[in-house]
Amino acid sequence: MKHLNLLLLLQLIVLIAFGQNKLSGIVSGNGEKLAGASVVLENSYYGVSTLGNGSFEFNNLKNGDYKVKISFIGFNTKVIGVTLNSDKQISINLEPNVIMTDEIMIAATRAKDKTPMAYNNMSGDEIAQRNMGQDIPYLLQLTPSFVATSDAGAGIGYSSFRIRGTDMNRINVSVNGIPINDAESHGTWFVDLPDLASSLENVQVQRGVGTSTNGAAAFGATINLQTNTLNKNPYGEYKTAFGTFNTFKNTISAGTGLMNGKFSVDARLSKVTSYGYIDRAESDLKSFFVSAGYYTENTILKVNIFSGFEETYQAWNGISSDMLETNRTYNSAGEYTDENGNIRYYENQVDHYQQDNYRLHFSQKLNQNWNLNLSAHYTYGRGYYENYKEDEELADYQISDIIVGSEIIETTDLVNRKWLNNNFYGLIYSLNYNKNRSDFLLGGGFSIYDGDHYGNVIWAQFLGDTKPNYEWYNNNGLKKDYNIYAKYNYQITEKINLFIDLQFRKIDYSINGIDDDLRDLEQSYDFNFFNPKFGIYYQLTNNQKLYISRAIANREPNRTAYVDKDPNGKTPEYETLCNWELGYNYSSSKLSLSANYYFMNYKNQLVLTGEINDVGAPIMVNVDKSYRTGIELQAGVQITNNIKWNGNTTLSSNKIKDFTEHVDNWDTWGQETFKLGTTNLAFSPNVVANSQFIFSPLKSLNIAFVSSFVGKQFIDNTSNEDRILENYLINNLKIDYLIKTNLFEEIKFHFMVNNLFNEMYESNAWVYSYIYGDKRYKMDGYYPQAGTHFMLGVDFKF
């Protein structure tokens, strides 16, 4: 472990770039110098933005041939070749695009080159190379501070993720600026949108509070996904893959290209199936994506419709720690005992859900400096999870005792379905002004979430006069979310850029009805949040930059915190985060280095302390003081012309101050309290590291060796060594080979081996502690991940 960290750190600090020449120039368009244009040396780590006068400069370049890529929103991208054997100055004139480009639709929520925040961009090509059917969290796990986990153990089905130790319920996720977090739970389940990765143009991950966006507050990160942009040429693709655990992925996509210079239609159809690593953890996933666009020089009108269906056998129980050595794939879901005393498994213990998304996007260039974006959205989701239950109390389902002769029946085996039926709709907008040194944006939106939660008894051994499909509980959550934000970037000097971002957010949330345990849920809340962000970007040299920022975010409790709260106890309060970021970046043609220090200070963070409510269920409790702090190091090196290395390491400390643990005492039917002082936040490893060596011996052959290390994690907030996830190091191998034929434009073969050295590890867990007979015991559930497994795929493009 120590050797791995030392290796990564040494590679960050001992590499030096050599060069002799300077390449400079001016970028113009429409007769004006273009400030903020992107100028990149292709196949290198070197990229800059033009200054206020349109100028740029690259230093320390070796003699040789370079390709320079210049791009700016509203203009055609240009690539020019340059030969250097001495200092050289060039002039580039970009031609206005005859149609608007899709990038303008997401500009409001994206961090830009001079935004003083920690972020990483991933291109569509990178996503496509990694996409072998696993959920999106597994495609993003090489970004800094990112940890992914899977219930089924192989990345297909229900998956979750953490960034800087922050769970997905506190991470804002959007598609084209429209939030996809569940408005009540705040979570994001990519299983509901299978193979969305095949329709992505790019992804930006902002760590920390990030910039203002729509939807739930970002308490650990923001993930901003952009779907496919206009492809001017007709195309068709068929991608198929298969592998271990009877995994299959098939994707068909096609597009018309730009018809009559104005119209385009794109479509995708996907199906992914897998048995999973865990017993009976099957996944049956289907999705489609359709996009139709109308493009002119000053207008975009685009309709996106996409839908996903998932049916997965439940695998969320985990297995006890004492079974990890003997039966790592055991799954207790659906287990029951038949009339002969034999253990059986209910075959329909499934999670079944469909989500339909409708989006209308409109962008208008008002003049040379002003742009307007409007988007309307509607999401309809419905589904259930089904459970076989043994010896359930009839009274718990509001069913009267059944009298059969002289016998009174009070319990029964039964099957229930817990339903969620929700509607989510709203509007987002942004108005952008850009001229010379100023970049101003006014944005915001509103949304309404209306979600019904109810449960039906679809079968029971004893029902009496009660009819099947009897509804025993029903409640509704209604949430209205409004926000408005203003962002202003001002280039004070050629080297200094000031960033200000102010957001106001208002939330109205109410719950009514009864829960599945028959408790009355009637309650309502109102919140008004002000979330300011400030930062300064400083260009030390043309290839070095420094930034510092401070941001505040406020987050309302999610549904679980309210539903499970003790009616006789304290109501959960909103959380507040003050986030400092200090970063440095260096880039050259062969080397990229960056370091980002962060300090995330929480007030009233909601955590599990062991406290319970009036029916004995665990509840979230506000802790007064807690924090996360660390440094994120990234590096990239072009070692030779055909060998490249990229890596990152996060070293962090994640603490709760003055933590008090509550433990159930089964002897007294009360709780014991233990003041533990400063403890570690659960699921927050002190070390997360990734390494990727890419070897390209041929232009058509690419071999990548990828390593990911996750340090030890505590599975509760007590810092008890008896309740941990051990550290693990996973190595993967990916090989891609491309050929061109007369029949197909290209055929690409993929071969991927995950967990190459068969590491036995667990990436997630839960624990419950109690006292019995004056001794401390625990119940727990761990989520083992698959050993060595592979995928083989072929892509046909025509």
Indicate the residue type of 137: P
Lowest mean pLDDT among 99-113, 190-204, 390-404: 99-113
9 has a pLDDT exceeding 50:
no
String of DSSP letters for 699-767 = TTEEEEEEEEEE--EESSTT--TTSEEPPEEEEEEEEEEEE--SSSSEEEEEEEEESTT----EEEEEE
The residue written with tokens 């389902």 in the block is: 397
**Number of Cβ atoms within 10 Å of the Cβ of 626:** 25
The DSSP secondary-structure symbol of 560 reads H
569 has a pLDDT exceeding 80:
yes
H or E element that contains 404: strand 402-404
Would strands 724-725 and 728-739 be described as parallel, antiparallel, or unpaired? unpaired
Note the maximum CA span of the chain. 103
Q: How far apart are CA 639 and CA 630, in angstroms?
A: 28
Q: How far apart are CA 593 and CA 787, in angstroms?
A: 33
Assign 63 a pLDDT band (cuts: 50, 70, 90). Answer: confident
Range list of H helices, 293-419: none
Residue 257 burial (C-beta neighbours within 10 Å; 0-12, 13-18, 19+):
middle
Tell me the per-residue pLDDT of 469-506, one tens digit each, with 9 for 90 and over.
999 999 999 999 999 999 999 999 989 999 999 999 99
pLDDT (mean) for 560-569: 92
Tokens representing 553 are: 């975010």
The DSSP secondary-structure symbol of 567 reads T
**Three-state DSSP class for 202?**
strand
In percent, the amount of the chain with pLDDT more than 90 equals: 79
pLDDT (mean) for 14-19: 42
Instruction: Report the pLDDT value the prediction gives residue 3, as an integer from 0 to 100.
Output: 47
Q: How far apart are CA 742 and CA 745, in angstroms?
A: 7
Mean pLDDT over all residues of the chain? Answer: 93
Tell me the per-residue pLDDT of 202-261, one tens digit each, with 9 for 90 and over.
999 999 999 999 998 899 899 999 999 999 999 999 999 999 999 999 999 999 999 999
54 has a pLDDT exceeding 90:
no
Assign 435 a pLDDT band (cuts: 50, 70, 90). Answer: confident
String of DSSP letters for 154-181 = SSSSSEEEEETTEEGGGEEEEETTEE-S
Instruction: Report the pLDDT value the prediction gives residue 15, as an integer from 0 to 100.
Output: 39
Q: Any idea what the Cα angle at residue 29 is, between residues 26 and 32, rounded to 5°?
A: 80
The residue written with tokens 């000053």 in the block is: 298
Range list of H helices, 485-563: 559-563
The residue written with tokens 């994707």 in the block is: 251
165 has a pLDDT exceeding 80:
yes
Q: How far apart are CA 177 and CA 198, in angstroms?
A: 18
Q: Any idea what the Cα angle at residue 434 is, between residues 429 and 438, rounded to 5°?
A: 115
Assign 14 a pLDDT band (cuts: 50, 70, 90). Answer: very low
Indicate the residue type of 791: M
pLDDT (mean) for 678-698: 97
Q: How far is CA 315 from CA 97, 147, 332, 385, in A?
A: 51, 19, 8, 12
Query: What is the pTM assigned to this prediction?
Result: 0.92
Tokens representing 26 are: 């001016």
Tokens representing 204 are: 């930006």
Nearest to 80, CA basis, from 9, 139, 25: 25
The DSSP secondary-structure symbol of 563 reads H
Q: Which residues fall within 8 angstroms of residue 338, CB to CB, at 6 or more apart?
A: 344
Nearest to 141, CA basis, from 707, 758, 783: 707
Rounded (10°) CA dihedral 150, 154, 158, 159: 40
Tell me the per-residue pLDDT of 630-657, one tens digit each, with 9 for 90 and over.
999 999 999 998 999 999 999 999 999 9
**Three-state DSSP class for 431?**
strand
Residue 530 burial (C-beta neighbours within 10 Å; 0-12, 13-18, 19+):
exposed
2 has a pLDDT exceeding 70:
no
Per the rule left: phi > 0, alpha: psi between -120 and 50, beta: everything else, 205 is beta
19 has a pLDDT exceeding 50:
no
pLDDT (mean) for 584-611: 95
Q: How far apart are CA 142 and CA 734, in angstroms?
A: 14
